[in-house]
Amino acid sequence: MQRIFFHEKSPNKRDLKEVADRINKGEIIIFPTDTIYAMGCLMTNREGIERICKILDKKEKHTKMSLICPNISVISQYTLPIDNHVFKTMKRYLPGPYTFILKSNNYVQKFFKNNKEEIGVRIPHSEILDGLHEFLDAPLISTSLSSEDGIQKFFTDPDEIETLFQHKADILIDGGIGDSAESTVLDCTGEEIELIREGKGEVD
């Protein structure tokens, strides 16, 4: 695994393009968000999704994965039509530490074994991810980097992440120490928006 250092506020654009090119070719990446570190690949990388589940020793149907998108317009390309009240809520809270659960469209479902009818979507507040999006062929699909050993533990230290995953993932983007708080999860698949998990993002 190659560890690449990026400044959180002013990442090097040429290096971001090189990383994006490798992701577009199928590589697995560990990266910081505005919450905790995550592991991901290109959403259209079916083999990559299977590999991530194997690395984390999780069955795909039990692995909570989210699309990382640059804006709501891109999100709408991968979901069923978004209700107006949901759209307004997303505009209010994004970008930020929130995961919105929406109904996925047929294009998304074909990349998952269990025809994923619902998908989490995120627009993290992250200069690094904003820069990557310029060069990616599709959004990232990702899952939180955690270990469930009785007490759920999130990996926040790039040194520890490198030690544990150096022979498993392809790229580690080192953006410094990560947050230890998860995103707030809002389920938008019903008539009303439901708070599923209260995390870093505040809701009123």
Measured CA to CA, the distance from residue 125 to residue 94 in angstroms comes to 8
Tell me the pLDDT band of 64, cut-offs 50, 70 and 90: confident
Per-residue model confidence (pLDDT) at position 36: 92
pLDDT above 80 for 91 = yes
Please tell me the predicted confidence (pLDDT) of residue 153.
78
- Please, which pLDDT band fits residue 138 given cuts at 50, 70 and 90? very high
pLDDT of residue 132: 96
Res 12: pLDDT: 92
What is the domain range of residue 180? 2-197
Q: What pLDDT does 93 receive?
A: 96
Rounded Cα gap, residues 19 and 13, in angstroms = 10
CB 142 within 8 A of CB 66: yes
Residues pairing with 148 in the sheet:
152
Smallest Cα–Cα separation from 135: which of 15, 48, 52, 34?
Answer: 15
The pTM for the full model equals 0.92
Domain assignment present for residue 63? The answer is yes
H or E element that contains 39: strand 38-42
Q: What does DSSP assign to residue 167? A: T
How confident is residue 151, by pLDDT bands cut at 50, 70 and 90?
A: low
Residue 202 lies in a domain: no
Lowest mean pLDDT among 55-59, 90-94, 150-154, 185-189: 150-154
Question: For residue 87, is it within any domain?
Answer: yes
Q: Domain count for the chain, please give it.
A: 1
Residue 86 included in any domain: yes
State the CATH number of the domain containing residue 132.
3.90.870.10
Answer whether residue 54 is part of any domain: yes
Q: What is the pLDDT of residue 112?
A: 78
pLDDT, residue 115, reads: 61
- Considering the domain boundaries, does residue 204 fall inside one? no
